[in-house]
Amino acid sequence: MAPTPTESPPALATTKRKFHKLLDNITASTSQTSLTSTLYESSNNASTGSLPQPGVPEPEPTAKRPRSSNSSLERQRQVSAGQARIQALKDQLLTGKPQRAGTMRVVGTQAQQTASTPRKPPNFQPYSQDMFLERLKTFADVKKWTTKPDAISEVEWAKRGWSCDAWNTVACKGGCEKHIAVKLRPKRKDNDGRDIEMSEDITEDVQPSLVERYAKLIIDGHSEDCLWRKAGCQDNIYHIPIANRAKSSADLISRYNFLLAISHDMPLLENITHPKPHVDQILATIPATFFSTTTTGTPPSTPAQRVAFAFALFGWTGVSESRISLAVCNHCFQRLGLWLSTDERLHEMSKKLGLPIAALRLNLLEAHREYCPWKNAVVQANAPDSWIAGLAAWETLEFMLLGKKWNKELPKLPDEHVGSHSFERANNNSVDLGTPSEATFPRESEDSGLTRHITAGYNDEGDEESLTNKWKKFKAKLKRSTSKRSLKSVKSAKGSVKSGKSGRSGKENEN
């Protein structure tokens, strides 16, 4: 009797399919599909697609459990939702940039990016000129800050992190938050003898001891742990990097373009004044390609365009606020109303004040604040061992534009410019310095150009002084001698004294 064959155990693939089908039937009735079930679904598809083992008979298909159409649609939605979450996780992992907390908000299967709050820059940045200028700009409003002595001027406060917060009050904003009220003079009185708020009696003298006290508070006014108490900005923080030819040229063109936008409100050419050389002499030496990036694309030709270029040469830019055209300096934040220099306005003020129009013309250099680097060579702080040592910003810019021609005679102007006083320095202070220890006043025409040599100076005592001290001393002498005739009389008087002394000494020797 032949032995009956033993029943073969079910194949492993068959058992696996049955297990997953049973798991699918359980999860089909649930309302949530987890990430684990989705992963099992992926593995189920992979297992069912495998080939049967050889020699093993294929099992008979089992009867499928009937399912409703609603449950099938629900399961498809849940699977797609799980796959969407898996894909979102993959995208986040593959980018390698984890999202910050609070910047990503997940709603359902959609990720909505929310705007993150920008971080404020640190308060203590003594090397940043932009932040220094931002603090200095808070002092520009005359309704909040009045003129102070140089030792406690707005520049000194801004170098130590202070900003103007209220009427003559400074604050360390973003730092220790300390406040200091700078009171140098008493308040003005009204007709009834009561104090006028936000005012000071400028007729009262400032006590030197009070100035010294506030000078110490510039540093000691900060809290003990404030970084501004330990260090401040460097002395050359106000320096304008004009020596960079590309940057200075781009800034000049930018200022000129802004001024062209308000050229219709520019004053007449004869109603402005500035140190020599004449703007036409400078334009004659600049190549036409220099103005290729301007709004016109051509060199200044009309009187209004030449005036706009003269403004730009001396650091001014143009703005329009409430249909009012202004010339603004972005370093000392001085603002000039161009309507004050119109021809009608100047004639009106000349009649009211009884002054010549020449005394009321707008001086493009003197209109800057005293501490502005465009005007002040010490504040500009050019490198002491360079060709531009001891020059203010306007002189440095003209040196960069003219190059080697800066020390030579510029092109001669047409005859209509000869004898014109519109571009002479106030009080006839424009001078031609030839050799050291020698000073001569300019000729009647303006063809002499910018002939002040960099190495020239006026040395009254014969000792070796810096160029800055020489220039200061020479300007002081010019204020005392304001005409060529007075200088000649002084020289002739000295010559007569010397000749008298020599004559007397000769007679004494003969005796």
For the cut 70, the answer to whether the pLDDT of residue 488 exceeds it is no
CB 82 within 8 A of CB 34: yes
Do 226 and 137 fall into the same domain?
Answer: yes
Do 179 and 252 fall into the same domain?
Answer: no
252: left (phi over 0), alpha (psi -120 to 50) or beta: alpha
Residue 491's pLDDT band, with cuts at 50, 70 and 90, is: very low
In a domain, 285, yes or no: yes
If one compares 88 and 234, the residue with the highest pLDDT of the two is 234
If one compares 471 and 280, the residue with the highest pLDDT of the two is 280
Do 269 and 338 fall into the same domain?
Answer: yes
For the cut 50, the answer to whether the pLDDT of residue 291 exceeds it is yes
Q: Which domain holds residue 350?
A: 245-363
Tokens read off for 478: 């010019």
Residue 458 to residue 465: CA distance in whole angstroms: 10
User: What confidence score (pLDDT) does residue 484 get?
Assistant: 43
What's the distance, Cα to Cα, between the start and end of the chain in Å? 177
Work out whether strand 272-273 and strand 362-363 pair parallel, antiparallel, or are unpaired.
parallel
Q: What is the mean pLDDT of the chain?
A: 73
CB 149 within 8 A of CB 211: yes
Residue 246 to residue 87: CA distance in whole angstroms: 51
For residue 446, what is the DSSP state? S
Question: Rounded to two decimals, what is the model's pTM?
Answer: 0.59
Work out whether strand 335-337 and strand 324-329 pair parallel, antiparallel, or are unpaired.
antiparallel
CB 300 within 8 A of CB 308: yes
Angle (nearest 5°) at CA 41 between 35 and 46: 135
**CB within 8 A of 357, min separation 6: which ones?**
271, 346, 347, 350
Residue 377 to residue 395: CA distance in whole angstroms: 9
Do 338 and 249 fall into the same domain?
Answer: yes
In a domain, 289, yes or no: yes
Residue 16's pLDDT band, with cuts at 50, 70 and 90, is: low
Do 153 and 220 fall into the same domain?
Answer: yes
CB 233 within 8 A of CB 159: yes
The answer to which of 64-78, 213-227, 273-287 has the lowest mean pLDDT is 64-78
Residue 287 φ then ψ, to 5°: -65, 155
Do 201 and 300 fall into the same domain?
Answer: no
Residue 12's pLDDT band, with cuts at 50, 70 and 90, is: low
Do 348 and 281 fall into the same domain?
Answer: yes
Domain endpoint, select from 230, 264, 290: 230
Number of structural domains the chain divides into: 2
Residue 34 to residue 27: CA distance in whole angstroms: 9
If one compares 256 and 462, the residue with the highest pLDDT of the two is 256
User: What confidence score (pLDDT) does residue 198 get?
Assistant: 87
- Structure confidence by residue, pLDDT tens digits, 261-272: 999 999 999 999
Do 357 and 285 fall into the same domain?
Answer: yes
In a domain, 426, yes or no: no
For the cut 60, the answer to whether the pLDDT of residue 478 exceeds it is no
- Structure confidence by residue, pLDDT tens digits, 364-397: 999 999 999 999 999 999 989 888 899 999 999 9
**CB within 8 A of 103, min separation 6: which ones?**
113, 114, 116
Do 209 and 262 fall into the same domain?
Answer: no
Amino acid, res. 400? M
In a domain, 174, yes or no: yes
Nearest Cα to 162, choosing from 151, 173, 150?
173
